[in-house]
Amino acid sequence: MAGLTTALVLSEAGRAVTVVSDRVPQRTTSAVAGALWGPYVFDDPRVLDWSLHSLPDLTAIAADPRSGVRIVQGIEASHEPAESPAWLRSVSGFATCGPSELPSGFGWGWTYRAPVFDMPVYLDYLMGRLVASGAVVRLLDGPLRDLDQALDIAPVVVNCTGLGARDLVGDREVVPSWGQLVITENPGIEGFFSDFPESEDPTYWIAHPDHVVLGGMVRHGRGDLRPDPEAAERIVARCAAVLPALGRARVRELRVGLRPVRPRVRLERGTHHGAPVVHNYGHGGSGVTLSWGCARQVQSLIG
């Protein structure tokens, strides 16, 4: 996600761009993401700014029905007394919900409009725009060995390797965070729901025209890609407690991915043997939320 978006921003600005990867977009973590725009809990004061600066681009993209991005109304709710984050009150469609507007068991909540993403469709859309802009895409047999190999390809390197940065640049601060989603048929619902605040077992659902994404799980440090059917049953049960129709919807598949989590996003310019290198990784579960804001900052760092 970070790599495609950054490459697109640079290429559409007139830069000669070559994208190198050891896998196609549909085989990346981004392809199995939720995905709902929102500056999730993150110990990094830059996250909110990047998130809000991504909104104009995402709003424009959502105007194209082929993009896989839609702006929809949804609800965030809490079992305990809670106030909405201050930044949310400037988002389109924001309003505080009354008790009758909330699911059973929730006493506090709010509604707002936000981008939601059908990620396989959105990744194809980004790739189509990238190729149309004139960028070159090269699929490698394996991961890049080091930055020297990257600099053999281009004089300026933008490192958007996510978890791959552990090996490419030896960054042990970026670690995997295992997550699982359940994909069901759509029983005739729209919008999204998310509980508040964030937890290791967040309850949320995101409706798309032909399916619903149910979540979720957050297991920091777990690095395998094995689905957990029992955990999936718990996800469905939590979502069905919010909206009973989801408990009767046929399960299509389980999706598992590894979020590239870091104490702080690494977005900075440096050098390698005198050549410019810009790092842009460690976005955790906020990849789509930060993608355009971070890409615009990479563009400014390159100059």
Binding residues for D-dopa: 204, 259, 285
Length of the chain: 303
> In terms of DSSP bridges, do strands 157-159 and 275-281 run parallel, antiparallel, or are they unpaired?
parallel
Residue 111: other Cβ atoms inside 10 A:
19
Sign of the alpha-carbon dihedral angle for 68, 71, 75, 81 = positive
C-alpha span between 108 and 259 (Å, rounded): 29
C-alpha span between 149 and 67 (Å, rounded): 33
Give the amino acid at 121: V
Query: Which residues make up each annotated binding site?
Result: 22-23, 29-30, 161, 204, 259, 284-289
| Burial group, residue 121, by CB count within 10 angstroms (0-12, 13-18, 19+) | middle
> Coil, strand or helix: which one is 253?
strand
Bridge partners, residue 272, by sequence = 275
Residue carrying structure tokens 């929809």: 72
Sign of the alpha-carbon dihedral angle for 274, 137, 134, 61 = negative
CA Rg value for the chain? 19
List the one residue out of 30, 69, 36 whose CA is nearest residue 255. 30
> Coil, strand or helix: which one is 142?
coil
Query: Which residues make up each annotated binding site for FAD?
Result: 22-23, 29-30, 161, 284-289
